[in-house]
């Protein structure tokens, strides 16, 4: 524990972006929003978004008096990629915009951190709550999780254009729901266990309320929001679910804390074929293990698993990777999971044998479509 974290013992810290803007066509007004922060920017942008939206972003910034250059993202947020992007950005840049998926946004955060610049995030997909957080993840060249780092503060601005979100492939939106829907369990468990949130402080109980509200929104509106994605057109259900996935989930996990489900990404990202799955899908499966590990009633787990499957979310390693896991693979996933700093955020003691048992219970109950 750092000296700062020791000094925060018993204190609540709640963090959030300075400004959050969401709605169809929001990208068209990005220049006006960015101009509040400075007049020099670079945008780390996913290659798939360059052609349909790059000029729109540049034009909006130019009209607002902001010089913005576009830097294509290489696809993985590694130390080498961040170094390359920071060199291309050059010195004197006031603002770094990350426009794309979670890894692209993390790369933008990492570049801004290196350059001491302000951070703007623009999700091109609603697959995670990364746009609102001060965390960013670095990966090794083999795509395994390497390190989680922290910005000095949360992003200065988040722009969510729901017309772009609605036009993105369905699986990304499904993954975002998977990342967010189990935060109610993680945040409550962390708070009840007296754990630490992402700021190294005591969980804010307002985060528990946010996580519960996020869960309720997703249970009520996720199916309708997915129908809007299938149509490629935002509607009120999609607006509510996007806000839940990006904003509510992000605020809840950072200021409330994480637990078993996100700890499992340490193991899942290291063992193929599960390492190839999107973060939100890994977490969706791990939500089921979390519920078993925390001692939820079997009927409650069955209900949650059934709802998740109806949305197209994986609820077993078989669903997630397309095959059964061996005992050795389960052991590796469990052993790496136990190294996570969040694993102790559970009101009951969870050891390696208990985690293996929870994983095996989930496989026996739901693997291959059973249950």
Outline where DSSP puts E strands in the chain: 20-23, 40-45, 67-72, 95-100, 118-123, 135-139, 145-150, 157-161
What is the C-alpha to C-alpha distance for residues 350 and 359, in angstroms, rounded to an integer? 12
pLDDT at 2 over 80: no
**Distance (Å, whole) CA 26 – CA 166:** 13
Tell me if 260 sits within 8 A of 186, measured CB to CB.
Answer: yes
pLDDT in tens, 304-343: 999 999 999 999 999 999 999 999 999 999 999 999 999 9
Residue 181 clears pLDDT 90, i.e. is over it: yes
Question: Is the per-residue pLDDT at 4 higher than 90?
Answer: no
Q: What is the pLDDT of residues 78-101, one digit of tens each?
A: 999 999 999 999 989 999 999 999
Q: Distance (Å, rounded) from C-alpha 149 to C-alpha 14?
A: 18
Query: Which string of DSSP letters, residue by residue, matches 128-182?
Result: -SGGG-SEEEEE-TTS-EEEEEE-SSS-SEEEEEHHHHHHS-HHHHHHHHHHHHT
Give me the helix-helix angle, 279-293 and 298-311, nearest 10°: 170
Q: pLDDT tens digit string along 248-259?
A: 999 999 999 999
The Cα-based distances of 13 to 188, 204, 254, 263, 315 in angstroms read 16, 7, 9, 21, 33
Domain 170-369 sits in CATH at 1.20.1090.10
pLDDT of res. 371: 37
Q: Where are the domains of the chain?
A: 13-167, 170-369
CB-CB contact of 265 with 283 (8 Å): yes
Task: Indicate the class that CATH gives domain 13-167.
Answer: alpha beta
């Amino acid at each position: 524990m750092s000296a700062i974290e020791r000094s925060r013992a018993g204190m609540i810290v709640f963090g959030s972006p300075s400004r959050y803007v969401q709605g169809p066509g929001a990208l068209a007004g990005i220049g006006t929003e960015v101009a509040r922060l400075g007049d020099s920017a670079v945008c780390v942008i996913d290659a798939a978004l360059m052609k349909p939206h790059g000029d729109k972003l540049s034009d909006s910034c130019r009209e607002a008096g902001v010089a913005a250059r576009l830097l294509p993202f290489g696809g993985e947020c590694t130390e080498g990629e961040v170094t390359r992007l920071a060199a291309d950005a050059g010195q004197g840049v006031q603002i770094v915009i990350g426009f794309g998926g979670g890894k692209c946004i993390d790369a933008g955060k990492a570049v801004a951190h290196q350059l001491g610049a302000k951070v703007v995030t623009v999700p091109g997909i609603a697959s995670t709550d990364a746009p609102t957080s001060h965390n960013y993840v670095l990966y090794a060249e083999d795509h395994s999780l390497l390190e989680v780092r922290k910005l000095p503060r949360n992003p200065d601005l988040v722009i969510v254009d729901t017309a772009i979100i609605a036009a993105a492939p369905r699986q990304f939106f499904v993954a975002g729901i998977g990342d967010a829907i189990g935060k109610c369990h993680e945040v409550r468990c962390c708070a009840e266990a007296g754990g630490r949130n992402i700021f190294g402080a005591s969980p804010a109980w307002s985060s528990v309320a946010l996580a519960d509200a996020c869960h309720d929104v997703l249970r009520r509106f996720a199916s309708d929001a997915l129908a809007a994605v299938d149509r490629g057109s935002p509607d009120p259900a999609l607006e509510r679910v996007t806000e839940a996935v990006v904003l509510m989930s992000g605020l809840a996990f950072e200021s409330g804390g994480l637990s078993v489900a996100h700890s499992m990404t340490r193991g899942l990202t290291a063992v193929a074929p599960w390492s190839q799955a999107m973060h939100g899908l890994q977490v969706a499966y791990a939500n089921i293990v979390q519920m078993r590990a925390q001692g939820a009633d079997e009927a409650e787990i069955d209900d949650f698993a059934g709802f998740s499957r109806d949305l197209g979310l994986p609820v077993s390693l078989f669903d997630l990777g397309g095959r059964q896991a061996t005992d050795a693979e389960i052991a590796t996933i469990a052993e790496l999971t136990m190294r996570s700093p969040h694993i102790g955020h559970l009101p009951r003691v969870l050891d390696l044998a208990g985690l293996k048992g929870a994983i095996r219970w989930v496989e026996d109950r739901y693997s291959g479509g059973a249950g």
